[in-house]
Structure 1
Amino acid sequence: MDTWQNELKNNITTVSELAALLPLTKEEIEKMKELIQYYPMSISRYYFSLIDKEDPEDPIRKMSVPEVCEFDSDGLLDTSGEASNTVLTGMQHKYKETALILSSNQCAMYCRHCFRRRLVGLSGEEVADHMDEMTDYVKAHPEINNVLISGGDALINSNIRIEEYLRKFVELPQLDFIRIGSRVPVTFPQRIIADAELQDILRKYNKKKQIYVITHFNHPKELTGQAQEAVQILQEMRIVVKNQTVLMRGINDKAEILARLLRELTTWGIVPHYIFQCRPVLGVKSRFQVPLLEGSRIVNEANAQQNGLGKVADYTMSHVTGKIRILGLNDAGNMVFQYKQAKNSHNIGKIFTKKLSVDEKWLEDI
């Protein structure tokens, strides 16, 4: 009997496999071979099936297939200061209420816009290892009221490992809920649909403490029947599913596309959580980033097409200093920003303005 692990072994991971399935020039083949030594490629067969192979601008292709522009040396590997927030190997504590756990360096599909490409598929040096130390840390910091189990992808861990995390953390009375960060419902829904044991584990522990699954739909083409089935399985357990979207050039940088995505998410009962400004990551910045002025217009136009329930996703920059809302222009033509969360808690709620150039894509200096 096929398991999800065996299915993932069939992922497209080499350029020769890709070239047999997708038209590529000889130059593209040679350059991709070099590129994936630094930024690995792994595409689930399910996700690859969503690509329109005749369209070189297909958004699914752009999010999964390497491009030569990833060699661009402009950008950073750690854009949010994760290294400085690390308190134990694999555990970060940037915001006082939340402990973030990097539970894996593996994903069902390696997104080309990944902000942790320094880690995912490559290095295990930042991945959580000693679970007892992590639970002891949380106990020693009563201000922590939730944990976010992320990665990589938290649901690519074994069922044994997932249950170990949940068993440890649901017993901590200080935690109000547990978050699981996973793009599995988008890129590999079979992981949820076909694994009754995983379903039993999630159902069991959600009865003890509320679980939220934070997933990552970026384009309406990702909203397939199988993806919806995976989401509904989680929802039937009373797990809350929320979504984080990254605003990206060539993917969802048209108001009508973003509006359709938000509407369909709310139709599925998924709560839009954030619309993130794409981070200035090495090899990502020049390919996917949208200027802030343009991004604000796109997001505000998309929000104008939503009902009240669909207007909840803040356009946000995950900056080294905190999560910053990008609100819009004031009468003076300056962009208005607000700290929604901050490394320095005194900044939470603080509003500031900045005159932006038309091509400015990030706040380098605050």
Structure 2
Amino acid sequence: MTLVNDAAPAVRSTGRKFRAFTAKHLEELTARAGLTPDERLATRAVATVLPFRTNAYVIEELIDWDAAPDDPIYRLVFPQPDMLPADDVAHLSDLLRRGAPKAEIDAAAHAIRVRLNPHPAGQMELNIPSFGDGKIPGLQHKYDETVLYFPKQGQTCHAYCTYCFRWAQFIGEPDLKMAGDDALQLRDYVKAHPEVTSVLFTGGDAMIMGEPVLRRYIEPLLELEQLESIRIGTKALAYWPQKFVTDPDADDMLRLFERVVEAGKNLAFQAHFSHPRELEPLVVTEAVRRIRDTGAVIRTQAPLIRTINDDAKTWETMWRAQTRMGMVPYYMFVERDTGPQDYFAVPLARAVDIFRDAYKNVAGVSRTVRGPSMSATPGKVCVDGVVEVAGQKVFALHFIQCRDAELVNRPFFAQYDPEAVWLDDLKPAFADRFPFER
């Protein structure tokens, strides 16, 4: 494959009808990757705990099967046997091998899930506000100006990333799921909070919804003068770009985007691209062009993930391609403290080096990107670098967003730790506590 460039023709792909693959297809697909019977069993064991879903486009257009199972896109969507502790995988494998009752397998899987911090950053405890008679299902309000909403109909994706920090949404346990379906309640909440200027639809993936359903959520918001932007968090451009090109409601969806822009709102696509290969198919170029033609702005983001994109050249290539296509590089995230973090996490010190080495080689128009950024309980913490202050080697950090708005963009320091992968691993430097701990 060759990376898409300016000269590549933007053509409408005839595409194929969407076809999903789930855990019941793992035996066949992992055999195609060359896994041994024991490795295939271990993969199925992991899939009893963490969700698996992909589709024909990812399988046939993005994965290099000659390089599997080491291919980065394969690792992006297929569970890996060492994503969970070896003892847990062995126990689950034994249950599958002897054909244990589903209830016994489900109980074992649940016991493992609750140890994986399914809802990081206080999502269920700290971010859900009360309104009217009680809590609003599916609504989070962590920062003053931004409300997140999880539409009930958007609680899946075209494919699941193995590192997804929202994995708990997809495992069929209602107590762990965030979802709402009252569009007017969302509008009324925003209207009652004039500090809110942006609504982010997330999930799952909001773009799994058809146009009539998404319109039902968006239209009531267009009447609110206070609202400046509507954001849509999505991986559809990487996993199913046909959504905007050849799907039956593609044209209607684009007209809906135009309505948002015509209403004087900024429509921001928070597009999730994890690897340059996701940008290569021509149907992606066409999907990006069609979305941008509506007036929407596409901002790109992804976490830094070990074994998938943990080198500077990958990020440099990705940011260059996104810029050429008219998208805006936005965030490099740090893998969140949930799920298989121990498997995917990159130490913060190395993350800083990777970010800097990629950042220094791109032009200024690509330097809109920020990172490495941790979406932690107090807010979004950016690791600016490793510096020496008063003879001490330290991490320099600042808040991009914070529950306490007074701390935004104020630098603070943490003791240097080459093994630290998350904010909780750090200790304050030059102080008894971090600013957010006062």
Q: Which of the five TM-score ranges fits, normalised by the shorter chain?
A: over 0.9
Of the candidates 399, 414, 419, which is equivalent to residue 359 of structure 1? 419
Are 1:244 and 2:257 an aligned pair?
Answer: no
Equivalent residue for 1:106, pick from 152, 156, 160 = 156
Partner Cα distance (2:173, 2:197) in 1:
29
- Does 1:39 pair with 2:50? yes
Partners in 1 of 2:290 and 2:327 — Cα distance? 13
TM-score, normalised on structure 2? 0.79
**Structure 1 runs not aligned, ≥5 long:** none
Aligned partners of 1:123 and 1:99: how far apart in 2? Answer: 24
Match of 1:265 in 2: 322
- Bigger Cα Rg: 2
Q: How far off its partner does 1:21 sit?
A: 3.7
Q: Does 1:167 align with 2:222?
A: no
Percent of aligned positions that are identical: 28
What displacement does 1:287 show?
A: 1.7
- Alignment map for 1:114-153 (pairs within 5 Å): 114-120=164-170, 122-123=172-173, 125-153=177-205
In terms of mean alpha carbon deviation, does 304-313 or 92-101 score higher? 304-313
Shift of 1:123: 4.2
Aligned residue among 245, 249, 253 for 1:193: 245
CA contact (8 A) 1:42 1:109 kept: yes
How big is the shift at 1:16? 3.1
Q: Deviations over 1:162-208 (max 9, x none)?
A: 11111011111110111111100011111111122222222233322
| CA shift digits 1:107-133 (9 cap, x unpaired) | 000110100111135345411122221
Q: Distance in 1 between matches of 2:147 and 2:294?
A: 24
Distance 1:24 1:7, change over 3 A: farther
Cα shift readout 1:188-246 (whole Å, capped 9, x = no counterpart): 11111112222222223332222111111111111122222111110111110000121
Check 1:322–1:289 CA distance in 2 against 1; reply closer, same or farther (3 A cut).
same
| Structure 2 stretches lacking a partner, 5+ long | 1-13, 86-111, 130-135, 427-433
- Partner residue in 2 for 1:85: 127
Kept after mapping to 2: 8 A contact 1:44/1:109: yes
Q: CA deviation at 1:24?
A: 2.2
Change (3 A) 1:98 1:46: same
Secondary structure at 2:200 match in 1: strand
Conserved? CA contact 2:149–2:201, under 8 Å: yes
Are the counterparts in 1 of residues 21 and 54 from structure 2 also a CA contact under 8 Å?
Answer: yes
Stretch moving more, 288-297 or 325-334? 325-334
In structure 2, distance between residues paired with 1:178 and 1:299? 28
- The yes-or-no answer on 1:221 pairing with 2:281 is no
1:288-313 superposed Cα distances (whole Å, 9 cap, x missing partner): 11000010011011100011111121
Question: Which deviations, in whole Å up to 9, do the C-alpha atoms of 1:314-348 show, x marking residues without a partner?
Answer: 11111110011110012232110001110122221
Aligned-residue Cα RMSD (Å) equals 1.9
Amino acid at match of 1:272: P
Find the aligned partners of 1:200 and 1:20 in 2 and give their Cα distance: 43
> Which runs of structure 2 are paired with 1:206-217 in the superposition (5 Å)?
206-208=261-263, 209-217=265-273
Does structure 2 retain, via aligned residues, the 8 Å contact 1:326–1:335?
yes
1:37 partner amino acid: T
Count of paired positions: 362
5 Å-filtered alignment, 1:69-84, equals 69-72=82-85, 75-83=116-124, 84=126
Mark the CA change 1:215 to 1:59 in structure 2 (over 3 Å): closer, same or farther.
same
In structure 2, relative to structure 1, the CA distance for the partners of 1:10 and 1:324 (3 Å cut) is closer
Shift of 1:19: 3.6
